Every structure is written in C-alpha cells, then in structure tokens.
Amino acid sequence: MTLIEESRTELDRTRFFIDGEWVAPQGSELHTAIEAHTEEAFGVASLGTEADMDAAVRAARRALDEGPWGRTTAAERADVMDRFAAALSARADATSTLVTRENGMPITLSNAFNGAAPAGLLQMYAQIARQTEFESVRPSMSGATIVRREPVGVVAAITPWNYPQVLAMMKIAPALAAGCTIVLKPSPETALDTYVFADAAQEAGLPPGVLNIVLAGREAGAALVRHPLVDKVAFTGSTAAGRAIGAECGGLIRRMTLELGGKSAAIVLDDADMDTFLANLDGASFMNNGQTCTTQSRILAPRSRYAEVTDALADYCRNLVVGNPLEESTTLGPMASETHLKRVQGYIDIGKASGARLITGGGRPAGLDRGWFVEPTVFADVDNDDQLAREEVFGPVYAVMPYDSEEDAIRIANDSEYGLGGSVFTADEGRGIEVARRIRTGTIGVNYYQLDLGAPFGGMKNSGVGRELGPEALNAYLEYKSVFVSADQLG
C-alpha cells in the first residue's frame, strides 16, 4: 500500500466545495497530511487544477450576478454571518485540535486563533455591516449625488498554513459583509481544516456559490489570480509570492491586498523593566513557534545592558517547554513541515558560519526523536547587515544586536526591507510611544505586542499593500459609485 492509501481516515477531504455542493475534483493529485509532532500521516486531500479553479470562480460569479447574494441587504447578510459564526463556534474545539495536528501550533494558541477568532470576526463584521451606510445622498452643484458603496465582486482569497483559520476569516468576513463572493485557496500544508468553513456555511444557509473552497498548489493558485472573472485578490504569504501576485494584478488592473513577510525589531530601551520584557516575549517573538509574520526576531539592546538582555533571553529559551503541541503545558511546538524545518536549520547554519555568537539552542531538543522540532536559538553580536538580520527565518531563531543610543536603535530598526510588526520596551510609556511613532512599520506595541482584531493590520515596504482587520478592512472589498441625480432626491 502507498502512504496515501495507508493514511485515509474520516478526516479525508477528497472533494471540493463549489456552488454549495461537494464536487469531485477534475484532476487526480492527492496530498497526504502529516502530523507535525509525530511525522505520521493522518489524512488525505485532493489538490485542485486550473479547471477546478475555473468552476469555483464561475460559481462565485453566478452567485454574485444571478443569485440572491447580490441582492441582499446588509442586515440580511449580517444575519447569515451570525449563523455562520454560531456553526463555527460549535466546531471550535475540534478545529483547534485539527490545526495543531497539521502545523504544530500549541493548542492554547490554536484555541484562540483557530477556535474562537474566526467566529468572533464574523460577528464583528456582521455588526459593522449593520452599522455601515452603504448608500447616501449629498447635495451637488447640479442637484444631488447618490454615493453608493458596492461589493468589489469576486474575491480570490489565498491563505498560508501558519494561522489557517483566522487568516482565512480575515478575508472572508469583510468580503461577506461587503456583499462579495469568494473562492478560497488554502495551503496544502494545512489541507484539512479549512473545509470546516464549508460545513459551517452549509449549516448557516449561506447561498450556493458565495463561498467556494479548492485546495491547490501554486499552479492552480496562479490560475485563480489571473482568472478574468476575479475582481480582487487577497493574499497572505511570502514576499516573493506577493511580488508575483502584485505584478499579475498590476497588469490586469485588479484590486489586491497583500500581507507579506516581516523581520521586525523589539527595542529594549535603557530603562526597560526586564520582567516586563520577558513576560511579553511570547506574544512579541515566540508566538506559534516563531512561525508568525510579525515575529520580532531582531532584539535590539543598549550596550549598557547588552549582557543582561542576552543572558535573560537565553534563560527564557531554556525554560520553554518544547514538546507535544496538544498538551496545554507546551509553549513551543514543532515546525509545520519537514521542508520548513530544513529551512530553519539552514538559517541556523548561516548564523553559525557568520561569526555571530551562538548563546543557546541550534540543534534538536533532547528526547524528541520524532517530529519536526528545533531548539529555540539565540545568536548574539549579529550585525544588521548579516543575512540572519535581513531575511525572514520564520522559526524560533533570534538575533540580538547592540545599539549606542536611542537614535541608533531607531536607525537599526528602520534599516530593513520589511515593516510589519515591532515593539518598544521602556519604563516610560510616553517615551515608548514617541519611539514607536518613528518606526516605519504597520503595527507596533509598547511593552507588549498583541494583535487587536478591531484595528487595521498590515505592513509597510516589502511587508505588503493594504490593511486587514478593523472597520477599515471593509473598504478593501467595496467600490464607490457616484450617481448624479436631481435635487429631488435630497428628500
């Protein structure tokens, strides 16, 4: 028997969700889901082709142009979204566990981001939809103008493996609130969990074609991006892939939102409280095993406290509980795949060869012979021009760099191609806010870093284009139309 035949389970997803139905794939390629902490197969999923993507896009277009969704009111859409949220909440525990098995995310974090957050986002955008004025009339020099906010159309949502549920819903929820229809292409590395959306959507009564889900690799994903019936692309992933998508969308004059990579800095100012710094490292730098786009992997420390910071960081790493991500006591799980583990290990080798000082980690954790585990690793004396400081590792590998003054710290933090996250640690919050204002990054925290689902999220420079989350995200899924009429319409 082949690995795929041996791994078939009740979790298998060998059909796609298109036009409200489970349909057979038009190709024959299958993907085997491998559990991150055991390296054992536990499910099978079909991979889509360009023909599957075409079917999904055409279903989304029909749902928008011919189906009931294109004629719904904001209140009607909000009611469906609330039912969708309830259906996801009923599945939250099982979904969280499934994602943890897929990508190694610690279960406590998975409960929040894959269990609770998707339903919360649907409820939030349902409320935003109810409160948004989608049409208004204003006076003009010639009479009046009706200003309409209409759905942008068919949305191609392409999502990664690190936070599969919440990152998908960061696109689905505002798109639904705006009245768009969606084709979702999740990553093969998390091949099974995203279809939970389909199960919940059916239960909630989402009309056929409004949400379509096709698992696929790069070629079919590229076909989705360039499909002539797609109006907008919403992508989260690597900067390299984002460049390609941006170039394609630019040529097609197509709307896009790109949330890409990062190489963020955590600045420890000279008056920082070390206990506060250590207590907030989990959210700033170690969340999801370092497999987070906002990971602050450049730690900037004043020379006067450099040894103190490096020693404290090393102790913090040594005290992390590395192991089975399904156990609530675990604080650091495995990498998501064997391929990704090799990538992270490659960067560790680069750090060792660069002349930087390895102060902890660098190998495989003792006693963990199976699973894609790597020790949390800290290098000191890293130069900001080093590869380890310039490129996104996407794992628990950190570079500590000294600075001479506050101005020097700001310069180093801004000397990056990226600008997605960041943090400033200081005993003086006002001082921290002033430093934060000078860092060119889309998000930054003072004495902690924790994503606010009600505030805009996105990056500057090579970290992306546009914003997700908050009421602001709704605009990314709307087009404005001005209808010139007589003054009689002013009422």
Give the active site residues: 259
**Strand, coil or helix: 150:** strand
Q: For residue 472, which of 207, 178, 166 has the smallest C-alpha distance?
A: 178
Contacts made by residues 39-42, CB under 8 angstroms, sequence distance 24+: 39/338, 39/370, 39/371, 39/372, 41/3, 41/4, 41/6, 41/7, 42/7, 42/9, 42/11, 42/101
Question: DSSP state, 112?
Answer: I
Q: How far is CA 220 from CA 48, 185, 254, 259, in A?
A: 7, 9, 18, 20
Residue 171 CB neighbours (<10 A)? 29
Count Cβ atoms within 10 A of the Cβ of residue 79 and give its class: 0-12 exposed, 13-18 middle, 19 or more buried.
Answer: middle
Question: DSSP state, 113?
Answer: I
Residues contacting residue 123 through CB under 8 Å, at least 6 positions apart? 81, 82, 85
Evaluate whether 288 touches 100 at the Cβ level (below 8 Å).
no
Q: Which residues of 28-55 are buried (b: 16+ CB within 10 A; e: fewer)?
A: eebbbbbbbbeeebbbbbbbbbbebbbb
Evaluate whether 354 touches 388 at the Cβ level (below 8 Å).
yes
Residue 363 CB neighbours (<10 A)? 12
